[in-house]
């Protein structure tokens, strides 16, 4: 009997969960052993601000961000070694051009059929945002840039350049009874109304994939097509904030009719076929530790309407970042990025990536923890209002800050408060706090870095704090409550301590 026939008598490998990881560890770094007391002492010294806690002594998972925290593959490390640090037209520039052509389409990177450079490399996403919004902002007064959800740096860069950033979240995002898989969609009817009423003030429409600010939920291709349709009717360029383009494509493959049989790569191509341009931070789905850029379709509406912006962008890039063939990046970073882009669209990579987050989320939910659903592609959000619902903690007690301080010191996991403190504000004149609508702690999962047992330990740690939630004290803000971007800078103290 043939072996291939014999194996049919046994259950298929796909019935065993979890599946083996699609990679193995190439090299590892041991963590330094630290006691909870040592961590507590250090965290006290930095005023309970987890951003200021030395990463080197984190013994659990570092969930502060999925940005730039990727573990690179051995191919990327090898490519790094081949980095060419020439001042103009380094080797990596051509490799990256090829990778962008392959991933997003030749029309986004210096298509040889045109002489006009249309791709601009920056050191990270926000530098690219600053550049493009500077030029768009100069077009007119009182302009508005609508999005399904601007990330906070995008929002800040739009407003710093004299424009208004508007988020048109999908109504399903806040509807707890909605089963939609695409809660990151843009509210198309509100967009149409805005285009009718204030269309002359809208220079460009943005869609962020996945919608990080909107609970990191994905956007459907149908929604992208509808927004694109309106952008053609009203003759407005359509841009993507594409940081997590491959994760978004995976959700389309999973949940949107007609895409099951398509590869991630094919879906990515379809998404970008609608874009007149995109901004991106390669620190997410570039599978890289650094990098960002602006890529403008060479035959698209953006270039047609604002042709002068391209030369402006190039001058700006030369003055602020570097020659357009390296932008704000070293040659070795560019090499690692070119390879990262090829890995990120591999179906087996993305299957693993998303199933790891889904499994992490299911474990949290099974432990009875108030985790936001559906789980997205790069992070889990814990609803702190529900977490502290039956305790004496009030909004101004900043329980989310107390929680992250305890999680880090007692159990060695670093999560990030993105709620009443991070997005709230303090009015020095009235002495009043204004709180945002939502109050989350985020667990962003770095790519290719942690294994199931790391995440299981994090779940057990959160559960332990949840069980003892009535013992979690409030914090007082001892520095920085009136500052902008205050969560990066503030210092806290447990009350009565
Ligand atoms: N756009 C989105 C959707 C983002 O999530 C980020 C960064 C940026 C733009 C800016 O890119 O960091 O390279 O300047 N998000 C990170 C996070 C910081 O933790 O969510 P950058």
Whether 352 is covered by a domain: the verdict is: yes
- Residue 288 Cβ < 6 Å to ligand 1: no
- 7 confidence band (pLDDT: 50, 70, 90): very high
Whether 118 is covered by a domain: the verdict is: yes
The closest-lying atom of ligand 1 relative to the alpha carbon of residue 281 is 13
Q: Provide the whole-model pTM.
A: 0.95
Whether 13 is covered by a domain: the verdict is: no
Inform me whether the pLDDT recorded for 497 exceeds 70.
no
How many A from CA of 67 to the centre of ligand 1?
7
Report the chain's mean pLDDT, rounded to a whole number: 95
Whether 1 is covered by a domain: the verdict is: no
Model confidence over 332-385: pLDDT tens digits?
999 999 999 999 999 999 999 999 999 999 999 999 999 999 999 999 999 999
Taking Cα atoms as reference points, which of 233, 161, 144, 237 lies closest to residue 192?
A: 233
Same domain, 412 and 304: no
Model confidence over 139-173: pLDDT tens digits?
999 999 999 999 999 999 999 999 999 999 999 98
Q: Compute and round to an integer the Cα radius of gyration of the chain.
A: 23
Same domain, 136 and 274: yes
Same domain, 24 and 112: no
Same domain, 385 and 329: no
Whether 4 is covered by a domain: the verdict is: no
> Which of 282, 316, 344 represents a domain boundary (last residue)?
344
Model confidence over 378-437: pLDDT tens digits?
999 999 999 999 999 999 999 999 999 999 999 999 999 999 999 999 999 999 999 988
Inform me whether the pLDDT recorded for 318 exceeds 70.
yes
Whether 356 is covered by a domain: the verdict is: yes
Same domain, 420 and 301: no
Q: Say what the pLDDT of residue 377 is.
A: 93
Nearest residue CA, atom 15 of ligand 1? 67
Spatial separation of the C-alpha atoms in residues 297 and 299, rounded to whole Å = 6
Spatial separation of the C-alpha atoms in residues 187 and 173, rounded to whole Å = 10
Same domain, 166 and 272: yes
Same domain, 312 and 363: no
Choose which residue among 51, 133, 283, 417 to substitute to test ligand 1 binding: the one with the highest number of ligand atoms within 8 A of its C-beta: 283
Same domain, 468 and 453: yes
* Span 317-338, average pLDDT: 95
CATH code at position 449: 3.90.1150.10
> Which of 344, 368, 403 represents a domain boundary (last residue)?
344
Model confidence over 17-55: pLDDT tens digits?
888 999 999 899 999 889 999 999 999 999 999 999 999
Task: Determine the 3-state secondary structure of 107 from DSSP.
Answer: helix
Q: Say what the pLDDT of residue 6 is.
A: 94
- Residue 241 Cβ < 6 Å to ligand 1: yes
CATH code at position 155: 3.40.640.10
Total structural domains in the chain? 2
Whether 115 is covered by a domain: the verdict is: yes
Query: Which residues, in sequence order, are bridge partners of residue 205?
Result: 238
**CA end-to-end span of the chain, whole Å?**
74
* Span 85-108, average pLDDT: 96
Spatial separation of the C-alpha atoms in residues 282 and 136, rounded to whole Å = 22
How many A from CA of 41 to the centre of ligand 1?
31
Nearest residue CA, atom 19 of ligand 1? 65
Same domain, 319 and 184: yes
Q: How far is CA 35 from CA 50, 100, 410, 411, in A?
A: 17, 46, 9, 9
Least confident of 4-18, 63-77, 342-356: 4-18
Q: Are 496 and 473 in contact (CB under 8 A)?
A: yes
- 1 confidence band (pLDDT: 50, 70, 90): confident
> What DSSP line would sit under 123-178, residue for residue?
SSHHHHHHHHHHHHHTTSSS-EEEES---HHHHHHHHHTT-EEEE-B-GGGT-TT-
Same domain, 27 and 174: no
> Which of 344, 363, 387 represents a domain boundary (last residue)?
344
Same domain, 235 and 274: yes
- Residue 118 Cβ < 6 Å to ligand 1: no
Inform me whether the pLDDT recorded for 181 exceeds 70.
yes
Phi-psi region of 242 (alpha: psi -120 to 50; beta: other; left: phi over 0): alpha
Same domain, 290 and 217: yes
Whether 389 is covered by a domain: the verdict is: yes
* Span 256-269, average pLDDT: 97
Model confidence over 103-128: pLDDT tens digits?
999 999 987 667 789 999 999 999 99
Choose which residue among 68, 281, 340 to substitute to test ligand 1 binding: the one with the highest number of ligand atoms within 8 A of its C-beta: 281
Spatial separation of the C-alpha atoms in residues 176 and 215, rounded to whole Å = 13
- Residue 492 Cβ < 6 Å to ligand 1: no
Residue 258's domain comprises 75-344
How many A from CA of 261 to the centre of ligand 1?
30
* Span 62-80, average pLDDT: 97
The closest-lying atom of ligand 1 relative to the alpha carbon of residue 208 is 3
């Amino acid at each position: 009997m043939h072996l291939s026939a014999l194996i049919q008598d046994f259950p298929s490998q796909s019935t065993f969960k979890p599946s083996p990881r699609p990679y193995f560890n190439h090299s590892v770094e041991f963590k330094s052993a630290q006691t909870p007391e040592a961590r507590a002492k250090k965290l006290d010294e930095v005023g309970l601000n987890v951003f200021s806690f030395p990463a080197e002594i984190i013994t659990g998972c570092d969930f502060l961000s999925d940005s730039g925290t990727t573990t690179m593959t051995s191919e990327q490390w090898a490519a790094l070694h081949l980095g060419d640090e020439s001042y103009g037209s380094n080797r990596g520039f051509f490799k990256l051009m090829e990778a962008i052509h392959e991933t997003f389409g030749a029309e986004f990177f210096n298509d040889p059929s045109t002489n006009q450079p249309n791709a601009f490399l920056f050191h990270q996403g926000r530098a690219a945002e600053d550049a493009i919004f500077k030029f768009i902002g100069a077009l007119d007064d009182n302009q508005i840039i609508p999005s399904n959800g601007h990330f906070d740096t995008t929002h800040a860069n739009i407003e710093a350049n004299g424009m208004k950033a508007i988020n048109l979240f999908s109504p399903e995002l806040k509807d707890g009874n909605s089963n939609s898989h695409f809660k990151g969609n843009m509210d198309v009817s509100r967009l149409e109304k805005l285009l009718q009423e204030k269309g002359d003030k809208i220079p460009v429409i943005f869609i962020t994939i996945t919608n990080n600010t909107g609970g990191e939920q994905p956007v459907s291709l149908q929604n992208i097509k509808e927004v694109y349709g309106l952008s053609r009717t009203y003759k407005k360029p359509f841009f993507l904030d594409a940081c997590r383009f491959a994760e978004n494509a995976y959700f389309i493959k999973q949940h949107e009719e007609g895409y099951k049989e398509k590869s991630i790569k094919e879906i990515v191509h379809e998404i970008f076929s609608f874009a007149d341009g995109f901004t991106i931070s390669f620190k997410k789905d570039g599978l890289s530790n650094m990098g960002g850029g602006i890529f403008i379709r060479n035959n698209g509406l953006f270039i047609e309407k604002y042709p002068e912006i391209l030369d402006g962008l190039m001058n700006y890039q030369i003055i602020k970042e570097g020659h357009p063939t390296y932008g704000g990046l070293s040659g070795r970073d560019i090499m690692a990025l070119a390879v990262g882009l090829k890995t990120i669209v591999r179906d087996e990579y993305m299957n693993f990536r998303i199933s790891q987050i889904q499994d992490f989320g299911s474990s949290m939910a099974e432990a009875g923890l108030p985790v936001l659903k559906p789980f997205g592609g790069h992070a889990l959000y814990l609803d702190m209002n529900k977490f502290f619902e039956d305790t004496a903690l009030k909004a101004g007690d900043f329980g989310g800050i107390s929680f992250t301080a305890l999680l880090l010191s007692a159990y060695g996991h670093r999560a990030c408060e993105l709620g009443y403190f991070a997005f709230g504000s303090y009015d020095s004149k009235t002495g009043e706090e204004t709180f945002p609508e939502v109050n989350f702690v985020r667990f962003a999962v770095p790519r290719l870095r942690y294994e199931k047992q790391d995440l299981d330990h994090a779940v057990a740690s959160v559960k332990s704090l949840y069980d003892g939630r009535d013992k979690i004290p409030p914090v007082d803000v001892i520095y920085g409550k009136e500052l902008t971007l205050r969560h990066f800078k503030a210092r806290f103290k447990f009350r009565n301590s």
